[in-house]
Structure 1
Amino acid sequence: MNSLISEERPLLEVKGLTKYYPFKIGPFSKKTGYVRAVDGLSFSVHKGETLGIVGESGCGKSTAGQLILQLQEPTAGEVWFDQRKLTGLGGKELRKVRADLQMIFQDPYASLNPRMKIKDAIAEPLLIHGLTDGAKLRSRIIELLETVGLSEHHLNRYPHEFSGGQRQRIGIARALALNPKLIICDEAVSALDVSIQAQILNLLKKLQKEYGLTYIFIAHGLASVKFVSEKIAVMYLGKIVELAQRDELFARPKHPYTKSLLSAIPVSHPRETKERIILQGDLPSPANPPGGCSFHTRCSFVQDICRKEAPAFQQHTDKHGVACHFPL
């Protein structure tokens, strides 16, 4: 299991989570294979912790977030939240649990109804779950807006009247409305300017400290993931290839793919130099992944066994695990 050793019971446990999408071609729509979007993920997240999930576009990290929230039904595997199995739940039972599981989306404008005033967008989850109404509802909405750096003056505005950063703050306020235990941040800052990204990241850390929140932070780059995460999982073609404590991962990356991602982080000083590792070739298709190690087609350390046999995920220390035949 791709999880770091801990004596505490995790808030979230993911076991062998898999999602295959069948694809069909031809006039009779004959099924010819599967797109392996998520291929056997296993990890755990403890209360108050942030797990960063990083990887190239198409690696399956956003799909993994949707599977955890049961927005999609997994092909196989289990999701356990607060010692309760989520996979297989439906209807009212799932709705009760949903109050504790929320998501902040990549595009804050697309996640907000353009015809709905901000006060109504934030009120919607509260009304659905029957948590408050009347004067208390308005008071709660104002409280949430002020928590994320907005004010009562924004109540009657529509999404198009806000900047991208402000819209993302509204998305965060809506995610906080039900006092969740776990929030999945799906590329929550990637569509924002760099200066606004820093503001939102600082806000997320502040809210985590104040409310004891647990995050899964999904992103392309390791720079923002490093800032907010205690633990980082590196995904490639639907699988976790490395999972480690943040400082351990940055100091001693063991997978060649992780090392290439680290080399892409810009240097902090103009006189500082760093070797840039350029991966050769494109990311293989999840509909036709290479045999053996999925990374062998782009790896400069490839050997015969890599082409024939997929490496098992192994714990090298209690802080570091990797799926590689020849870890660095």
Structure 2
Amino acid sequence: MNQTQDKLLEVKGLKKHFPYKQGMFSKKMGHVRAVDGVDFTVYRGETLGIVGESGCGKSTTGQMILQLLEPTEGEIWFEGKHLTGLDKGEEKAIRRNMQMIFQDPYSSLNPRMRVEDIVAEPLRVHGLGRGREIREKVVELLRLVGLDAHHLSRHPHEFSGGQRQRIGIARALALHPSLIVCDEAVSALDVSIQSQILNLLKKLQKELQLTYIFISHGLPAVKHISDRIAVMYLGKIVELAERDELFERPMHPYTEALLSAVPIPDPTQRKERIVLQGDLPNPANPPSGCHFHTRCPYVQDMCRQSAPSLQQQADGHFVSCHFPLQELRNLI
């Protein structure tokens, strides 16, 4: 990724802590640190993949970027504007340029609405046309995603999962956004359909100059579509690098373990699977020091005592680890 490109989105120190309560009187006991200090930049025209285990905070991060959740702390800058503290008019204008494709194509579409009304709803809300003009725009949007005008009068239950997700994509494109957050956009689909949707997203990105944040727990899908990849663990980014660099030379032990679980297409080849010991720690009471030290095969005393920061180790390759280099870890 050419770092001289325009910065579309900047996230600085982003946190989201959810209070939790217990007992008969619902006494507040503490906070779940869903996102605990995240920094990254998204450049115009690229796809940034965000990957990690369930509960790592990746979907919460996406929801805060779209202002669906209010951050506990931190800054979000989009097209040079600070998103915190916008009035209703400014927020509505910004939202035209930021859209989401949801995980479940079955529940993200209103079953009582026809396809024409589902895709036209954003246009009507923002006052972008009426009557025949809106209908023509909807037909064009359906054509872009591989559907036809004869689908207009149908309801979501008359479509397959892949077709429903295409409808969701058409709805996200209706306002010509600059940024689309794809939150597990293919994980609910069959593998063969996943590849079709991923290829469609890449085609649309090229034709419409779109920028994506692609959130997923599936590394093959993230590798297929992303330019850069951020790896999250327990609310923090532990590694961020160009796609090929990350897959060929991971520098964080968590990334290394994730990559070891990716199947190899050639059955004659074997690779050693790294099985992490223990469960994901409780985000309401994360470990001291490095959050990963309770499961890390290379853990040292320093890891238990102090938390590493995200530091650049090579050109465009950032890692949050006291012992980031594979060569150094092999000597431990």
Aligning the two structures, in what range does the TM-score lie when normalised by the shorter sequence?
over 0.9
8 Å Cα contact 2:7-2:41 kept in structure 1: yes
CA distance in 2 between partners of 1:279 and 1:27 (Å): 37
Match of 1:85 among 82, 86, 91: 82
**Counterpart in the other structure of 1:179:** 176
Please state how far the C-alpha of 1:30 moved relative to its aligned partner: 1.7
Counterpart for residue 276 of structure 2: 279
**1:147 lines up with 2:155 in the alignment:** no
Shift of 1:28: 2.3
Identical columns (%): 68
After superposition, the C-alpha distances for 1:199-244 in whole angstroms (9 at most, x for unaligned) are 0000000000000000000000211101101100000000000000
2:227 equivalent in structure 1: 230
Residue deviations 1:31-54, cap 9 Å, x none? 111000001110001110000000
Once the two structures are TM-superposed, the CA of residue 311 in structure 1 deviates from its matched residue by: 0.8
Once the two structures are superposed, residues 99-122 of structure 1 have per-residue CA deviations (whole angstroms, 9 ceiling, x without a partner) of 000000000111111111110010
Contact 1:20 1:75 in 2 (8 A): yes
Alignment partner of 1:190 is 2:187: yes
What SS class does the counterpart of residue 19 from structure 1 fall into? Answer: strand
The amino acid across from 1:49 in the alignment is E
Partner of 2:212: 215
- The residue number in structure 2 matching 1:290 is 287
> Does structure 1 residue 28 correspond to structure 2 residue 25?
yes
Structure 1 residue 5: Cα displacement: 8.4
In structure 2, stretches of 5+ residues that fail to align are 327-332
C-alpha displacement at 1:275, in angstroms?
1.1
User: Structure 2: which amino acid aligns with 1:241?
Assistant: V
Counterpart mapping for 1:156-167 below 5 A: 156-167=153-164
Alpha-carbon distance between aligned partners in 1 of 2:162 and 2:142, rounded to the nearest angstrom:
13
C-alpha RMSD of matched pairs (Å)? 1.0
User: How far does residue 273 in structure 1 lie from its aligned partner after superposition?
Assistant: 1.0
1:1-328 to 2 correspondence within 5 Å? 6-327=3-324, 328=326
In the alignment, the residues of structure 2 paired with residue 5 and residue 147 of structure 1 have an alpha-carbon distance, to the nearest angstrom, of 28
Contact 1:221 1:261 in 2 (8 A): no
For 1:254, the aligned partner's letter is: M
Scaled by the length of structure 2, what TM-score is found?
0.96
Note if contact 2:5-2:44 (Cα within 8 Å) is conserved in structure 1.
no
- The one-letter amino acid paired with 1:249 is L
Q: What is the TM-score when the length of structure 1 is the normalising length? A: 0.97
Residue pair 1:104, 1:185 contacting (<8 A) in 2 also: yes
- Distance in 2, Cα, partners of 1:9 & 1:211: 16
1:277 is paired with a residue whose SS is coil
Moved over 6 A (4+): none
Secondary structure at the residue paired with 1:11?
Answer: strand
Shift of 1:245: 0.6
Q: Structure 1 residue 303: deviation in Å?
A: 0.8
The number of aligned residues is 325
- Please tell me the residue identity of whatever aligns with 2:209: G
The 3 A distance-change label for structure 1 pair 291 and 147 is same
* Amino acid of the structure 2 residue aligned with 1:262: L
> Structure 1: which 5+ runs fail to align?
none
CA contact (8 A) 1:60 1:238 kept: yes
Contact 1:5 1:318 in 2 (8 A): no
More deviation, 85-94/174-183 = 85-94
Q: What SS does the corresponding residue of 2:212 show, helix, strand or coil?
A: strand
Q: Is the 8 A contact 1:52 1:225 kept in 2?
A: yes
CA distance in 1, matches of 2:4, 2:109: 40
